[in-house]
Amino acid sequence: MKPILYSYWHSSCSWRVRTALHWKNIPYETRAVNLLKPESGQHSAEYLAINPTAHVPTLFIDGKNIIESIAILHYLEETRPLPALLPQDAYERAKVREIVEIIASGIQPLPNRKVQKRVEHDKRLEWVQHWVNSGFRALEEKLYTTAGKYCVGDEVSMADCCLLPQVFNARNSQVDMRQYPIISRIVSELEMIPAFIAAHPHNQPDCPTELSGK
Amino acid sequence: MKPILYSYWHSSCSWRVRTALHWKNIPYETRAVNLLKPESGQHSAEYLAINPTAHVPTLFIDGKNIIESIAILHYLEETRPLPALLPQDAYERAKVREIVEIIASGIQPLPNRKVQKRVEHDKRLEWVQHWVNSGFRALEEKLYTTAGKYCVGDEVSMADCCLLPQVFNARNSQVDMRQYPIISRIVSELEMIPAFIAAHPHNQPDCPTELSGK
């Protein structure tokens, strides 16, 4: 039985996990959770029984549901270690996890849809841009000390799985990415990798057809 | 040479790491970063050179600076595995990391001081309580399926290192903890453990004397 990924095409946290599944060549089925229709989507009784946070993604794998994207990435790494998404050396692993956390705890939670709803309507774009720029400024500095071809050296890692989706969102919010040359250079590498392309929002079964171009 | 922890007494992320250091019996020195005086604290040139996010904590250990609290917890676990803060089994580890992430990405980033500053003054308490309650409701549900004496079964883990500081902050924001009997029961256990006591804000060298009671 294939793993089942509860996912929303536009969700950056879902994209992180989709990338890891493709990177590790793990076939899976997508079960779409429509975040724009919470009653039948993330707040349905059926989904809340699986994931009490009402967030996506959830991965059903090895007979169990696992929630929270970074927890899922680590589970995949520990049960299906190759191809790897973490280096072997403890300090190199720390570098990957530092970047993961800068994105997953320092950036993603603040501009997201759920939080925007509690900010005055005409201040939402400014809110999003403020937090993304403040996070990306720190991230750009950090990457100056860690990056090679990718976020940490020349091997793809969990950090890259987190970076591309965040930049996709930033572009959608008209963040001027010319301020971040290292981030931009890494992203242009990632956008050529098959696992990242397969995991792209526009290539998901629940993406609206006018965007998916199918 | 002892590790150096750049820390602020009241910071929940610093508390997570202080607990792990005490739990693993790693002697360390505290270097206080005063978040209330950003010019000489987290935004000083000296600190930004160490940690470009301007967040605490940073741990200088094994000749390197490591930033981001969960990355630090993992580095300590991988280089000083005993006493452990992660179970051996991959799925049990996933349970710990799910809870870590619910707190570290789902709760902590939203009510924190930096974000509050961008919310209208008279709406700040409501903002904090909204995000803490919304996160704790999901966490309470999750813990119903994972908890024993502590967050995951009967062994202290990284999840517990994250839980107690978040509850301390919640109490300071007058969140009614009677809504969360499982969280409250676990916290009452953690409050009796020497490593958690030693790491408590009131026992830090930079805690104001009127609170430290020294």
Selected for mutation to probe chain A from B74, B119, B162 (highest A CB count within 10 Å) is B74
Residues 6+ apart with CB under 8 A from A128: A111, A116, A173
Residues 6+ apart with CB under 8 A from B201: B9, B10, B15, B168, B207, B211
In chain A, residues with a C-beta closer than 8 Å to the C-beta of B130 are: 118
Does the N-terminal peptide bond of residue B87 adopt cis geometry, omega within 30 degrees of 0? no
What does the pLDDT look like over A26-68, one tens digit per residue? 999 999 999 999 999 999 999 999 999 999 999 999 999 999 9
Structural domain contains residue A15: yes
Q: Are residues B34 and B78 in the same domain?
A: yes
Structural domain contains residue B206: no
Q: Are residues A73 and A11 in the same domain?
A: yes
CATH number of the domain within which A68 lies: 3.40.30.10
Give the domain-ending residue among A55, A82, A109: A82
DSSP per residue, A99-115: HHHHHHTTTTTTTSHHH
Q: Distance from first CA to last CA of chain B, Å, rounded?
A: 28
Give the domain-ending residue among A25, A58, A82: A82
Average pLDDT over residues A161-166: 98
Please say if the pLDDT value at position A102 is more than 60. Answer: yes
> How does residue A212 score in pLDDT terms, banded at 50, 70 and 90?
confident
Low-confidence residues in chain B, pLDDT < 70: 213-214
Structural domain contains residue B23: yes
Structural domain contains residue B209: no
Q: Are residues A94 and A26 in the same domain?
A: no
In chain B, how many domains are there? 2
Provide, rounded to the nearest whole percent, the portion of chain A with pLDDT above 90: 96
Domain that residue B60 falls in: 4-82
Q: Do A115 and B110 touch (CB under 8 A)?
A: yes
Structural domain contains residue B154: yes
Residues 6+ apart with CB under 8 A from A65: A50, A51, A58, A59
Cα of B209 to nearest chain A Cα, Å: 31
Q: Are residues B100 and B192 in the same domain?
A: yes
In chain B, residues with a C-beta closer than 8 Å to the C-beta of A100 are: 71
Judged by a CB distance cut-off of 8 A, whether residue A3 touches chain B is no
Q: Are residues A44 and A114 in the same domain?
A: no
Q: Which amino acid is at A149?
A: K
Q: Are residues A95 and A69 in the same domain?
A: no
Cα of B205 to nearest chain A Cα, Å: 27
Q: Are residues A97 and A135 in the same domain?
A: yes
Give me the interface pTM, i.e. the ipTM: 0.97
User: Cα B170 from chain centroid?
Assistant: 12
> How does residue A210 score in pLDDT terms, banded at 50, 70 and 90?
confident
In chain A, residues with a C-beta closer than 8 Å to the C-beta of B142 are: 52-53, 67
Judged by a CB distance cut-off of 8 A, whether residue A61 touches chain B is no
Q: Are residues B192 and B96 in the same domain?
A: yes
Q: Distance from first CA to last CA of chain A, Å, rounded?
A: 28
Q: Which amino acid is at B64?
A: K
Structural domain contains residue B64: yes
Of A74, A106, A110, the CB nearest to B53: A106
Structural domain contains residue A211: no
Q: Are residues A130 and A178 in the same domain?
A: yes
SS3 A6: strand
Judged by a CB distance cut-off of 8 A, whether residue A171 touches chain B is no
Structural domain contains residue B208: no
CATH number of the domain within which B133 lies: 1.20.1050.10
Judged by a CB distance cut-off of 8 A, whether residue B86 touches chain A is no
Q: What is the pLDDT of residue B214?
A: 57
Chain A's closest residue to B13, CA to CA, is: A105
Instruction: Return the structure tokens found at B9.
Output: 């007494």
State the DSSP H helix or E strand holding residue A4, giving kind and residue range, or none if neither: strand A4-7
- The overall longest dimension of chain B from CA atoms, in Å, is 47
* H helices present in chain A, as ranges: 12-23, 45-50, 69-79, 90-104, 113-116, 124-146, 158-172, 181-190, 194-198, 209-212
Q: Do B52 and A141 touch (CB under 8 A)?
A: yes
C-alpha A110/C-alpha A142 separation (Å) is 20
Q: Do A97 and B74 touch (CB under 8 A)?
A: yes
DSSP per residue, A29-56: EEEE--TTSTTTTTTSHHHHHH-TT--S
Give the domain-ending residue among A39, A65, A82: A82
Q: Tokens 């453990």 sit at which residue?
A: B193
Q: Are residues B102 and B179 in the same domain?
A: yes
Please say if the pLDDT value at position A124 is more than 80. Answer: yes
Instruction: Return the structure tokens found at A198.
Output: 């397969």
Q: Do A106 and B104 touch (CB under 8 A)?
A: no
Q: What is the pLDDT of residue B210?
A: 87
Q: Are residues A126 and A56 in the same domain?
A: no
Cβ atoms of residues A65 and A40 within 8 Å: no
Chain A's closest residue to B130, CA to CA, is: A118
Q: Are residues B105 and B179 in the same domain?
A: yes
Q: Do B90 and A75 touch (CB under 8 A)?
A: yes
Please say if the pLDDT value at position A214 is more than 70. Answer: no
Q: Do A101 and B62 touch (CB under 8 A)?
A: no
C-alpha B55/C-alpha B66 separation (Å) is 12
